[in-house]
Chain A
Amino acid sequence: MHRLKGIGPTEQWLILVIALISIFLALASDTFLTLVNLFDLLNYSAVNIMFAAGLLVVLIAGGIDISFAVAASVVQYLTVTILMQMGGGNWAAGLVLACLIGAGLGSLNAALIFHFRITSIVVTIATFNLFFGMLMYVTGGVSIYDLPDWLSSRVVLFERETETGFAEITLPVLAMVVVVTLTWLLLRRLSIGRQLFAMGDNTEAARRLGINLGAMHYLAYGWLGACAGIAGLMQAHYAQEIVPNALYGRELEVLAAVVLGGARLGGGRGTLLGAILGLALVSITQNGLNLLGVSPYAFRMIVGAVILVAISVSGGTMGRAIGRFRGSKLAGATQ
């Protein structure tokens, strides 16, 4: 059922919708189709795409995680606090530390899910509250504005002066490219990545094939944790400050966007391209609403409605299309 190459129906459909929205926005607003705006969109979305790449791995492995965004906030705090006490640090130390702490927090989820057979949604609802509660309690809700120099100074990788100002591509975009490439390698080119798909599609069959389910759980949640750690550090770099509840609520947006991109809640199916397109749809919608001068209060409502409609439409058509191929089994899964 997995098409390893080519573009699946979900992706085609998303590309079509994104193209329609983009054409509309290009006609309705002067600023949408400028290099400055597109690069801003890319810089802003980089953090979310890193989250999405990590989350996709967990979804493919058959789990779900809603704790990663607050975990990223915990990573920001711990990384910066530890490095400041050690005398400042640098990018290398920051990235390694962020990866390790993130993977550690992810492994906590994996341990609870695998060793105690607790449903992943329950575990991550619990750890979400645990992480966020502890973060707010320990920090007292106080932000860090005084970041180390390496973290707060902007790194511009590419810039071009245009009529509307400087168009820049910044460091988070590079981090995003690296994270997405590594995730692609894991999922598409490594045997352990294929084992993740096997576990997500049919856990029992995967176990009988001799796949180490425990290791796969740690790999999936650890991977998401590490991605979230890097994304957290990049968000701190992008925002030039660390606010404890800055990423609160981001998990739902990312989750909805990734599933919109064709990843199946329940595992075994999902593509990076789909996840990125799903996120692009949400980001472009938000960006467009902003440019069109729609009230910010309406943003969430419209984004929620877009996701809801997209799920209903794609779920229905996908369900019917696949049901034709797979007969009764999928009909059961559609309940």
Chain B
Amino acid sequence: MITISSLLFGQKAGASGATSSTRGEIAGLLVVFAAVILLFSLTTDRFLSTETFTSVAFQLPELGLLTLAMLMPLISGGFNLAITFTANISGLALAWVLQAYGGADAGVAAFALGIVAALLTGAIVGGAMGVVIAYTGAHPILVSLSMMIFLRGLGEFLTRGGDISGFPTFVVHMGQGTVFGIPVPLLIFLACVALWAILLKRTRLGFATHMIGSNPEATRYSGVDTHRAIVLIYTLSGIMCAIAGIVMLTRFNSVRVGHGESYLLITVLASFLGRVDPFGGFGRVIPVVIALVILQVIASGLNLLGTNQHLATALWGVILITVMIVRYAWARLQIGSFIRNMSEKRTLKGRA
């Protein structure tokens, strides 16, 4: 099987264990989840409290929305390194519309207009990347990388590296408020998760995304307009970044270019922990969301333990490497059957 990614990375595309069932994946992740919670609650008694879970519920959406934005390109065998800066720039678009209509005095109509502007910005940025990737044959990593450099520069140029703040109070209420006890950002996130799950599983585009990730050439020969599909994938990714940017703006009541830069690593981490194939073609939304919850709990736990921010960054790197090594070992050594064999041997020994 010659997938585009194995061509591009010069590695074998096998051994990524995409064959195991969804149920097994979810069960495995839930075990990890339980282990993480147990570990933290043993380490500090402040962990098992409502505050922790409220903070998880409020912080999860930004990270989650960005992960969804990363997920579609990843499944299509691509990459989007520009997600955080696309979110920032879209947030800026919303901020300007609000400021143009009177800053803190802006009305709901201005906010709605701003959201349209933000979504449009995200769509344009994503669409531009999609067009370049689809029609010029440049590699997604490279295109999204240069887009990231450009967007960061653009953002710094426009804001002079500072914050933009001073929004109407209802914006903050939206970002920090709750409906029936559920934080509004979380509701937005859940809606987007449902949307993405349906999109990837039930629509033609979702099917094409998986097929392009497996074998773009075969997909093209089967009569799928792969160029159009790739443009759409990155446009949708850009729109999801814009939603993340809007949520960030409402939660912090300000926009700063560079905010959430460190999320990039965690979105990649969440996707691979959620069993997305690094070479594209395989990946489901629900396991990725569970992986996200695990990572957010770890993040909140580290925060609670007062871990140094830089040490936490290093730890994320270690966790990503560990996850990938465990995945490899699981697929290669077939630990499942190994354990079975061991227990059989043990019973034999016991008899002798």
B142 close to chain A: CB less than 8 A: yes
- For the residues of A in contact with B, the DSSP-based class is helix
Q: Mark B139-171, 1 if CB is under 8 A from A, else 0.
A: 101110111111111101100110000000000
B182 close to chain A: CB less than 8 A: no
A294 CB → nearest B CB, Å: 10
Assembled-state Cα–Cα distance A129/B317 (Å): 5
Q: Mark A102-114, 1 if CB is under 8 A from B, else 0.
A: 0000000000110
Q: In the complex the two chains form, is B314's CB within 8 Å of A129's CB?
A: yes
Assembled-state Cα–Cα distance A255/B147 (Å): 13
Q: In the complex the two chains form, is A315's CB within 8 Å of B132's CB?
A: yes
| In-complex Cβ contact of A130 among B9, B157, B314 (8 A) | B314
Assembled-state Cα–Cα distance A316/B8 (Å): 18
Q: In the complex the two chains form, is A265's CB within 8 Å of B11's CB?
A: no
Given contacts A133-B312, A199-B10, contact A307 B153 (CB under 8 A): no
Residues of B within 8 A of A313 (CB): 136
Given contacts A305-B150, A307-B146, contact A335 B10 (CB under 8 A): no
Closest to B79 in A: A121
Residues of B within 8 A of A135 (CB): 310
Assembled-state Cα–Cα distance A63/B11 (Å): 9
Q: In the complex the two chains form, is B149's CB within 8 Å of A253's CB?
A: yes
Q: In the complex the two chains form, is B278's CB within 8 Å of A118's CB?
A: yes
| In-complex Cβ contact of B143 among A311, A331, A335 (8 A) | A311
Residues of B within 8 A of A311 (CB): 132, 136, 138, 142-143, 146
Q: In the complex the two chains form, is A266's CB within 8 Å of B10's CB?
A: yes
Residues of A within 8 A of B142 (CB): 255-256, 259, 265, 311
Given contacts A265-B141, A332-B217, contact A295 B157 (CB under 8 A): yes
Residues of B within 8 A of A126 (CB): 265, 316-318, 320-321, 324
B226 close to chain A: CB less than 8 A: yes
B212 close to chain A: CB less than 8 A: yes
| In-complex Cβ contact of A304 among B12, B146, B321, B328 (8 A) | B146
- For the residues of B in contact with A, the DSSP-based class is helix
Interface residues on B, range: 35 or more
Residues of B within 8 A of A303 (CB): 149, 153
Task: Report how many residues on chain A are interfacial, defined by Cβ distance under 8 Å.
Answer: 67
Q: In the complex the two chains form, is B311's CB within 8 Å of A133's CB?
A: yes
Q: In the complex the two chains form, is B153's CB within 8 Å of A127's CB?
A: no
Q: In the complex the two chains form, is A123's CB within 8 Å of B10's CB?
A: no
Q: In the complex the two chains form, is B7's CB within 8 Å of A333's CB?
A: yes
Q: In the complex the two chains form, is A315's CB within 8 Å of B137's CB?
A: yes
Residues of B within 8 A of A141 (CB): 310
Please give 13 more A-B residue pairs, beta carbons under 8 A apart, in addition to A119-B11, A123-B324, A132-B314.
Answer: A61-B10, A62-B11, A63-B9, A117-B332, A122-B272, A127-B317, A134-B314, A200-B10, A252-B149, A253-B149, A266-B10, A298-B157, A331-B217
- Of the A-B pairs whose beta carbons lie under 8 Å apart in the complex, a sample of 9, sorted by A's number, is A123-B324, A133-B312, A252-B149, A300-B150, A304-B147, A308-B150, A312-B138, A315-B136, A332-B4
Q: Which residues of B contact A (CB under 8 A)?
A: 4-12, 15, 79, 132, 134-139, 141-143, 145-154, 156-157, 160-161, 212, 216-217, 220, 226, 230, 264-265, 268, 272, 278-279, 308, 310-318, 320-321, 324-325, 328-329, 332
